[in-house]
């Protein structure tokens, strides 16, 4: 466009009328974007914040695992200084699922009412060990994986195990021997329950 003479005088910005839905107090484009971005930021914050808060709060709210006394048999069934491998059933409840789990322990009778009950796993890497009644390791517990050797009291005599065999709590009630089964951290010198 070509002007003859002077160009038209600038009179300031020209306002375009708002669309009818905005003019009546409705939600405008900018307001909608602000609201949508704010909502998305809130959802993302909650999505990230809840798991982080749960990580720090869960140890406080976590229930201790309830351990039950498992019957191992009558005390007359255990001979003095003869280790016996005992299998038993334990009811495990994990959230809403209850299941029967077969566990095992080693029991050594040391006296009339004196027993040692051992977790059946080597303290080195968790291999199952056994009692040898003959051969070069006669009257010793031997873990075949890395040749860990223990005496009848669970003390380490050879091999890489970092600590003695893990003992379990036991009690006698009405002539029956009971124990509480537990697992322990492997490969460390201190006995730490899992």
pLDDT (0 to 100) of residue 6: 72
pLDDT band at 26 (very low <50, low <70, confident <90, very high): low
pLDDT, tens only, 96-125 = 677 888 999 999 999 999 999 999 999 999
Q: Which residue has the higher pLDDT, 139 or 4?
A: 139
First to last CA, the chain: 86
Q: In angstroms, rounded to a whole number, what is the distance separating the alpha carbons of residues 35 and 77?
A: 76
pLDDT averaged over the chain?
Answer: 86
pLDDT (0 to 100) of residue 12: 65
Highest mean pLDDT among 30-39, 96-105, 127-136: 127-136
What average pLDDT does range 171-190 have in this prediction? 94
Between β-strands 176-179 and 114-118, what pairing exists: parallel, antiparallel or unpaired?
Answer: unpaired
pLDDT (0 to 100) of residue 130: 94
Can you give the residue ranges of every domain in the chain?
20-61, 70-179
What average pLDDT does range 57-78 have in this prediction? 80
Superfamily of segment(s) 70-179: Rieske [2Fe-2S] iron-sulphur domain (2.102.10.10)
Query: Left if phi > 0, otherwise alpha if psi is -120 to 50, otherwise beta: which for 54?
Result: alpha
Query: Phi, psi at residue 8, to the nearest 5°?
Result: -60, 150
pLDDT, tens only, 141-161 = 999 888 999 999 999 999 999
Query: Phi, psi at residue 109, to the nearest 5°?
Result: -90, 120
pLDDT band at 60 (very low <50, low <70, confident <90, very high): confident
Between β-strands 148-150 and 140-143, what pairing exists: parallel, antiparallel or unpaired?
Answer: antiparallel
């Amino acid at each position: 466009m070509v002007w003859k003479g002077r160009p038209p005088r600038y009179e300031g910005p020209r306002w375009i009328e708002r669309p009818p839905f905005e003019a009546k107090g409705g939600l405008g484009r900018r307001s909608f974007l602000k609201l949508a971005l704010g909502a998305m930021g809130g959802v993302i914050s909650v999505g990230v914040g809840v798991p982080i808060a749960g990580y720090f709060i869960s140890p406080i709210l976590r229930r201790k695992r309830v351990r039950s006394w498992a019957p191992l048999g009558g005390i007359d069934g255990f001979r003095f200084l003869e280790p016996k491998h005992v299998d038993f059933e334990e009811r495990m409840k994990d959230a809403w699922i209850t299941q029967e789990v077969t566990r095992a322990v080693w029991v050594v009778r040391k006296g009339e009412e004196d027993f040692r009950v051992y977790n059946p796993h080597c303290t080195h890497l968790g291999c199952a060990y056994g009692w040898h009644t003959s051969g070069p390791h006669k009257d010793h517990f031997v873990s075949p994986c890395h040749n860990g050797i223990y005496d009848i009291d669970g003390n380490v005599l050879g091999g890489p195990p970092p600590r003695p065999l893990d003992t379990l709590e036991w009690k006698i009630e009405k002539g029956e021997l009971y124990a509480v089964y537990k697992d322990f951290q492997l490969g460390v010198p201190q006995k730490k329950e899992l």
